[in-house]
Structure 1
Amino acid sequence: MTKHIFPFLCLFIGMTTFTDAQNFSSTEITINRYVDGTLLVPESVENPPLVIIIAGSGPTDRNGNQSFMKNDMLKKLAEGLSENGVATFRYDKRVVKQLKAGIFDKNIRFDDFVTDAKSVVTYFKPSYDSIIIAGHSQGSLVGLLASESGVDGFISLAGAGNPIDQIILEQITKTAPFFTEDTKRVLETLKSGKTTADFPPALASIFNLDIQPFMMNWMEYNPQERIENLEIPVLIVNGTKDLQVSVMEAQLLKDHKADAELVIIKNMNHLLFEIDGDDLVNTKSYNELNHPIIPQVITSMLNFIQKDKSTIEE
C-alpha cells in the first residue's frame, strides 16, 4: 500500500493562561468524561462568535497531532481565528483520552464522534449567540451531522463528498489496483451488515476485524445527502495539493448545496499548509511543525463567519 492511503484511512478509530500575543485567553475545559478541550477567547471582543473545531481521522488530538505525526495544524488554525476576534474550541477525540489511559475500546462507533460533537454544541449554546462548526477531513462529516442539531453555520475543511466506502475503493484502485476486487468484496459484505475475516493481510489496516463495525457505521452516511438537507450557511474549503481529499470531493458537496460557498486554494495540502514542492515534500509536512496555516484559509473562514454573524443579528 502507498503512503497516500493510510493517513486518511487510519480509523482507530480549568486553569486560564495567556498566549505570547496576549490577545486571547486559553482555558482547558472538560465537557464530559469523553471530551476535553481548549477554549480560546479574544480579549477585546464583546460577544464573539464561537467556532468548534473537529479533528480528522485517526487518534487525533486537539492540536491536530498523533503519536507519530506532529504538525499542530488545528492549534494553528484555532489561534489564527482567535487572533482575529473569533472564539474557538478544539478538543481531543475520545480515542485519544482512551489511548492515554491504555484503553482500546473495540465498541467505539462513528456515531460516538457525532455524539461528542453534539455534546460540545450543547455545552456552549447558553454562552454564545453564534456557533459555527468547522470539521476537518473525517471531522467534516462528523461536523455535518452534528450541525443538524442546531448551529449557525458549517465549515467543511478538506471534507469528502463521497461516502467512505467509495473513497476507499477509489484510493485503492488508484494506488494498489491489484487489491480492487478484494476491496469491492469486503465493502459489499460490510454494507450488508456482516463482518468478514476474508481479506488480504495487506489491507488489515483498513479492514481489521476490530474496526469493521466502526467502518460499517461510517458507511451509513452519504455526505451529499446530508449537506443537501442542511438549512444553515455552509463554507466548503479544499486545496489543489490535497493528497487525500481531491478538489472533486469539495465540488460534490457544492453540487448538493447550491447556496454553499466553495473556496479552492492553490497549493494548499490536506493540513491547510502551502506546499510548493512535490508529493514527498507534501507528505513530510505531516510531521513538521514549521508550516503556518495558509492565510487564505483564515481569511475565508473569517469572511464567512462575519457574514453569518451579520445574518443572525439582523
Structure 2
Amino acid sequence: MADEKVVIGSETKYPLNGILTTPNETKKLFPAVVLVHGSGPNNMDEKIGNNYPFKDLAEGLSEKGIAVLRYDKRTFVYGKEMRKDTGISVKEETIEDAILAADFLRKDSRIDSNKIFIVGHSLGGMLAPRIDSEGGNFAGIIILGGSPRKLEEIMMDQNNDVLNSLNKFLKMIAKKQIAALSSKFGNIYNLSDEEAKSTLVLGKYVRAYYFKEMGEHPSIQYLKEMDKPVFILQGDKDFQVSVQKDYNGYKNLLGDMPNVTFKLYPNLNHLFMPSVYGEILKAKKEYKVAQRVDKQVINDISDWILSI
C-alpha cells in the first residue's frame, strides 16, 4: 500500500490537496473509488472528533486491491472566502471537485477507467447520484449513511430529537428557535433564486439558496432512473439519519430495483464505527472516542466493488 500526495483541480481557482492510496500489486489495473465527504468543512481524512473514517476506508480498501482517492473539501481550505458568495450551493462546495477527482483517476494509467466508483458519506451519499449524473460517470455508487429526503427535513428531525431530550426550561427556549427555523425552511421553495440568495436561514452565512438548489435536484430522481449498481449502507445506531425514514425510505423507493443492494449494520453509528452513547445530544462525546471503521463494512464494500 502506498500513499501518494496529489492535487485535485490544480488548474482551477480552488486546488485541493489529496492522497491517492494504491494497492501493492502492480500486475493489473486497479478499480478505484473517490471518497466524498459529509456536511461541514472536512479534511481529506474526514476527521470527526478523534476519528478518521476516510483514512480507515483508504487503508482498508487498498489492502483489498482497490485504489482510493481522498482530498480536502473545498470549504475546509477556502471556507473564509467562499462565505462571501451568496450563491454558494452543493455544486461549488462538493460536486465540482468530486467530478474533477473522477477525471483525475481516469488519467492514471494504473487505474481501470471503467471501474471507478463513488463512495459518498452522509451528505456526500445524498449527492453521489447527482455527481454521477453531472459528469462523474461512475461504474457504481456506494451511499454510506445517506438519505432520500431533503436536507432540511433531516435537520428538522435532528433538532426535534435534541428537543425531546432537553429539560422543561431548555425545551421552551429551543421550541421557539426550532419553530422559527421550521418556518424559514417551509418558505424556501416559494422564493426566487435571487430572494433565496439574500435570505439567511442559519447563522451568518447559510442562505436559503443552498437548500433550495439542493432540494430542486432530489437524489431519489437520479436513483430511480439509474441502472448502474448502487449499494446503500447504514448503521442501525445512526442518530444523524434514521433507519425508519432514511434506510427504509430508500428501501421503499428502490427496493424493487435489481441494481440496488442494501445492508444495515447492528450497533454501528453514523461513522460506521461501534455505537458508544447512541444519542444525538452526546454526539460530541460519541465522536471523541477514537475508533475505526468496522472491518465488515470495508469487506462488504470491497467485495461489492470487486464483484462488478
TM normalised by structure 1 equals 0.79
Residue 184 of structure 1 deviates from its aligned partner by 2.9
Partner SS state of residue 285, structure 1: helix
Q: Distance in 2 between matches of 1:161 and 1:124?
A: 28
Partner SS state of residue 64, structure 2: coil
Q: Distance in 2 between matches of 1:184 and 1:156?
A: 27
Match of 2:252 in 1: 255
Match of 1:187 in 2: 185
Alignment of structure 1 residues 20-31 onto 2, 5 Å: 24-31=1-8
Q: Which of the pair is proportionally richer in helix?
A: 2
Match of 2:171 in 1: none
Q: Distance in 2 between matches of 1:26 and 1:98?
A: 24
Deviations 1:154-206 (A, max 9, x none): 000001121112222333334337245423320122222234999xxxxx8x6
* 8 A contact 1:160–1:250 mirrored in 2: yes
Higher mean displacement: 131-140 or 246-255:
246-255
* Count of matched residue pairs: 274
Alignment of structure 1 residues 113-128 onto 2, 5 Å: 113-127=94-108, 128=111
Q: Does 1:105 align with 2:83?
A: yes
Match of 1:135 in 2: 120
Q: Distance in 2 between matches of 1:242 and 1:188?
A: 26
* 8 A contact 2:127–2:219 mirrored in 1: no
Q: Distance in 1 between matches of 2:275 and 2:156?
A: 27
The gaps in structure 1 that reach 5 residues or longer are 1-23, 199-203, 309-314
**Letter in structure 1 aligned against 2:47:** N
Aligned-residue CA RMSD (Å): 2.4
Partner SS state of residue 307, structure 2: helix
* 8 A contact 2:118–2:142 mirrored in 1: yes
Cα distance, 1:189–1:63 mapped onto 2, change above 3 Å:
same
The gaps in structure 2 that reach 5 residues or longer are 164-173
Q: Does 1:145 align with 2:130?
A: yes
Match of 1:65 in 2: 47
Q: Does 1:296 align with 2:293?
A: no
Q: Distance in 2 between matches of 1:254 and 1:234?
A: 12
Identical pairs, percent: 24
Residue 115 of structure 1 deviates from its aligned partner by 1.3
> Quick one: which of 155, 160, 174 aligns to 2:142?
155
Match of 1:95 in 2: 75
Q: Distance in 2 between matches of 1:223 and 1:250?
A: 14
Match of 1:311 in 2: none
* 8 A contact 1:263–1:300 mirrored in 2: no
Residue 143 of structure 1 deviates from its aligned partner by 1.8
